[in-house]
A and B are shown apart, each in its own frame.
Chain A
């Protein structure tokens, strides 16, 4: 079977290799023939599914079962038993069949999966379209020595291929083989010289100190402030509800003191608890984080209980995001997120493929980011000052509305709210407006557009021009009043699915128009530059290489009419 397949592949392989300088075996996958999943998959999945079914039966079917067996009608009970056994046999059989049907195979330029028991499915994923390869293991899987492998592509509504589950060795072999093959394919196109084994150097590994800081800064301060604020407004009424008598008639006794401090204290407690939980979770998530850098890709590894390992191909990077929240800024730390076009439904929570550095000193993060994308780290252009005025008005109106609502609430209902408490924040309005304005900015660099937004969590996004998908500018009614506009640069990056595009907010409307046009013009400029570079690089590598480029990638030469 496997012999058959390898001979079948030979002509294709020869065609791909014919003109290559990298030797006869480099494009041959070293994992030959169709592969199976790990046998332990069967018991693991049966246990996994069986537990949830057992729970469901226990919850919903427990009563009827006891009624059946307790009724004394033995024939019926035996029939039920047989049915249950048959069900279990079918259940087990299904997983065995699924295991037997599942096959994956690595060819010179595709990754094939054949699967399915009743409805069968064959998938071929071109290797050059694979965005990243992730390996994850939870505690049980680690004990069993199996791992889940996920291949992300830009298309579709989910992880393109999931191997559940293969042995850890197979997973690692597959991962390195995939990246080796993509490197060889690139070498065939003359983009880089083919190196057999990629050299990796560790560019970052998290220290215990940084882990501690990560735990500290991962507290969401916005939630904390809301909790605190809400508690101080609503606590008195809550306290009075607990004590229906008119407790304030006693003057400022012990009860009222408790009432006045209970809310804030409870809020503080909740904040501390939140901090502890999210801190510990984050520390566990990024425990033992290391980032290795090779010629063509980044590799990371992390996790205390659930282990993640993944690759981020450097040629697929869509955007870089430098993220610092208030605390991190105060301490001089930052995080780096690298986006590829892979699908990530949870926004980087469970899928770590995006997070390149969870936390490190800002300088280090910036220098690493600049080594990936050489963007200018100059000062950004701020929005005009009238934007700040706008924020001031916005916050003042928001505050007025809150106060009014609370006042109405006090007047209409029996709740006794300290409706005037939010007024304390009035002096903060100009400060908040200033900081909001202060943290916004944009810059059009040589090869990148950089935007920055946010006070609580400041995000600086770096988008290479050649990754721009669409550009749009928008003006709300309020923005039009002040002649402001927002420019959004859309990429295929996975975070832009959740609306976190690079945005230059509240800039002068004429500037916005200029930027919108400039960015889309720069896209063509950048593409032309890259094409030229690609040609230059393929030039000196030898005649054979450019020959191989012809049939292999029609885009290489025939794409040139565009420039």
Chain B
């Protein structure tokens, strides 16, 4: 009897049943099934990039009051395929003097660093690649692989502009890694588990975005800067004079950097949904666990929409402003948020759920208000200093 509500579990059990009938023992069947999932999930991750790029281009276009691709296929749906065919058939030029092996390795690592994150994301209650009990640490470790890839790309291209671009991009990425991992600590604090399955299960009653909105905001901002996405994409935007670290890349290698960046952005959206928006939880998942995958994809797409929205709305930030913003605002914010939330959560661990979450929310609001007051007074004193320097006539306004 097929229970379609528990689709993934049923599918898994059926496949394992097939393998056992072919003569394997139960543990071997389970092992082969896990290996099969591990082999197919990267393919799924890479295929997600196809509708994703179309979606992003359409959304950005609509936010900018224009149509977006609409010539190739109905509603421009085949645009991504056309672009892929173009990129596949372009000539692969390696500049003279470039380090050939590293030059070819860098885009592969950039994609592998993103696809590797999909192994631990729980899509439903029993649909995931691996249930690592150190999932969050794994995320941090594999996520840094794409940063390494950028350094390799810039170094191996035998081009001083690529190298400079790579230095600056890596400086930006490692700087924003600090508030990112600080904000990753918060779901661990609130759920008491380093594994993503545990974090999602702990959000059954209250999502962490309501318990710790400041941490969610920190994750939102720093994950975008980590992916070098607008408004933090000074170093590789199309309108910049040289395209940054990937200037010497052509054809599929460039395509991988491009796809890797989009996919990384969407993966950060999925992670934000898993860590802060409750992942696969939602009404009806106990009866129909497969519904969890639908919820996760919807929530991930919602967070991704916020990223696209930010890209279409804000102007680009200069690198010194970016790094100031990181080290002087985001990192101290994260460093003060963690002890505050830990003390509140531990102090009230005996109390009811609603009291604890209300206190956590209050702590967040308090810290946010403090930051705004500090920024406001500094801003006002800077304005008054500038006004008095301009002369008494200007300050009489």
Partners in one complex: no
Residue positions of B touching A, CB distance < 8 A: none
